[in-house]
Amino acid sequence: MIKNTINKHGLSCILCLVSFIFMGQTVVQQCKYRFDNYLNFKGSCNHRIEFQKEVIYILDSKGKKEFAIYASEIPMLAKFFANSSFAKQEKFIKFKGIKNLKATQRDSILAKLNDKKIIIRQNKLPLSGYRVAIDPGHSATNLMEAEIEQKFLYFVKDSINHPLDSVKLFESVLTFNTAQLLQKMLEEQGAKVLLTRSQNNFNSFNCTYTTWLTNHKDRVLDSLKNANVLPKAKYAKLMKMNDHDVFWEFFRDYELTNRAKVMNEFNPHASVIIHYNVDEKNEPWKQCSKKNFTMAFIGGAFTGDNLDKPENLVHFIRLLVTDELNQSEILASLTVNNFSNNLDIPKASQFDANYLKDNCLLPKSPGVFSRNLNLCRLVNSPLVYGESLYQDNEKECDALMKDDVNFKGIKTNDRLLNVAKSYYQAVLMFLKN
């Protein structure tokens, strides 16, 4: 039986913590809290932002003020960044600069906004009117593509005693199965749900990587070169690369950007990014590990040089002035608590993996980490990027290969079903409250 371990009292504690933090703070202080706790990776952004009592300045790499956020503007800016496209946000930042917008200008901007997060209930189901975007990570489901993507396990557990007892897992299959289960659960409660991939071997362009290479690569690269987005030298280099190098030099980030685009166009009230982890110290993953930890990521952890790229600056400002990071911490905390209790796995600390210690900031919620991953930065909604368990754990790898459970027509296993229920319980409680 699945334990619903985060009850209303538990959620109230989390919400009270957030409310206590912001109670009595000015809007500038709230932004400063987000900067200190989520955005500023080990002080590396200190020289790129200046907080004053009634204004926040974003500085360029030479210390020159390039964007100003006045206290009177922050409520308007929060609504604007929550309800506008990246292109409009980029254009607005260039237009505004360090100007202090007049009340009439702020009112005009608000009047033109379409509140995309408004809830229009169509029935009495608890999630009626809510939209949830789900991104099942990766796409490889055969060894050829998986060896390029490096998101699979394939080894013999015991070559002496059990030479035929092998582990064969594709993360893309696990994430897509989990996403389908979660979709069923949420839709039964009235939510409208988007999956960024329509098949377990498809990417967000609705094809396999091999198909993309054959049918779309030349057209895409030509288009980007002609639009002066892709430098001619980089274009020439990519056209000569093998499939492995094209994936890592271009396609991976290009496709992740498209996943975020698909999710943002859906205007979700919450987003779930599904991944399965491995023990980093078990590389090259040709044997089982005894370790198993659960964790989740949210956005943040910017470095100063990240802000040299105009597109990163847009996302940084959005995360600074909106409450997306605060809301993401709540959703991620609910998710990790459910993972830990439903799966009986301990929450990771910063000392349980090098990337947690070296690449993340530590919000107040155990098992939740701020990390500057592409989707954590690009997706414009409260989100959780879940890493529920270690696939290479000696017990998990066997359990994950089973398909002995049928949930509403979907063949799965107890572990994936528990992961999906953990996400479901977290999203349901988050949106209902």
Residue 3 lies in a domain: no
Q: Is the pLDDT of residue 5 over 50?
A: no
Is the pLDDT at 129 greater than 80? The verdict is yes
130, 431 Cβ separation under 8 angstroms: yes
pLDDT, tens digit (0-9, with 9 covering 90-100), for 247-292: 999 999 999 999 999 999 999 999 999 999 999 999 999 999 999 9
How high is the pLDDT of residue 165? 73
Whether 123 is in a domain gets the answer no
Distance CA 34, CA 300 (A): 9
Do 410 and 311 share a structural domain? yes
Residue 90 shares a structural domain with residue 197: no
For residues 258 and 79, give the distance between their C-alpha atoms in angstroms, rounded to a whole number.
24
What's the pLDDT tens digit per position in 151-179?
Answer: 989 888 765 455 557 899 999 999 999 99
Q: Check residue 117 and give its pLDDT.
A: 78
Query: Based on the number of CB atoms within 10 Å of its own CB, is 56 exposed (0-12), middle (13-18) or buried (19 or more)?
Result: buried
What is the Cα–Cα distance from 340 to 366, expressed in whole angstroms?
11
- Are the C-beta atoms of 196 and 136 separated by less than 8 Å? yes
Residue 121 domain-assigned (yes or no) = no
Name the domain count of the chain. 2
Q: Are 149 and 80 in the same domain?
A: no
Give yes or no: residues 61 and 179 share one domain: no
The whole domain housing 48 covers 8-111
CA–CA separation, 426 vs 5, rounded Å?
A: 10
pLDDT at 20: 47
The verdict on 138 and 95 lying in the same domain is: no
- Whole-number average pLDDT of the chain: 92
Q: What is the largest CA-CA distance in the chain?
A: 78
Same-domain pairing of 144 and 96: no
Q: Kindly state whether residues 186 and 220 are assigned to the same domain.
A: yes
User: Cβ distance 255 to 203 under 8 Å?
Assistant: yes
Reference 416, options 427, 402, 429; nearest CA is 402
- 2: how many CB neighbours lie within 10 A of its CB? 16
In this structure, the answer to whether residues 89 and 141 fall within a common structural domain is: no
Q: What is the mean pLDDT of residues 136-161?
A: 83
CATH of residue 325's domain is: 3.40.630.40
* Domain stop point among 79, 111, 143: 111
Residues 107 and 135 in one domain: no
* pTM of the shown model: 0.92
**62 and 205, same structural domain?**
no
pLDDT at 142 over 50: yes
Distance between CA atoms of 353 and 339, rounded to whole angstroms?
18
Same domain, 35 and 149: no
Domain assignment present for residue 57? The answer is: yes
- Please state, in angstroms and rounded to a whole number, the distance separating the CA atoms of residues 357 and 371: 11
Q: Is the pLDDT of residue 108 over 90?
A: yes
What is the structure's pLDDT at 146?
Answer: 86
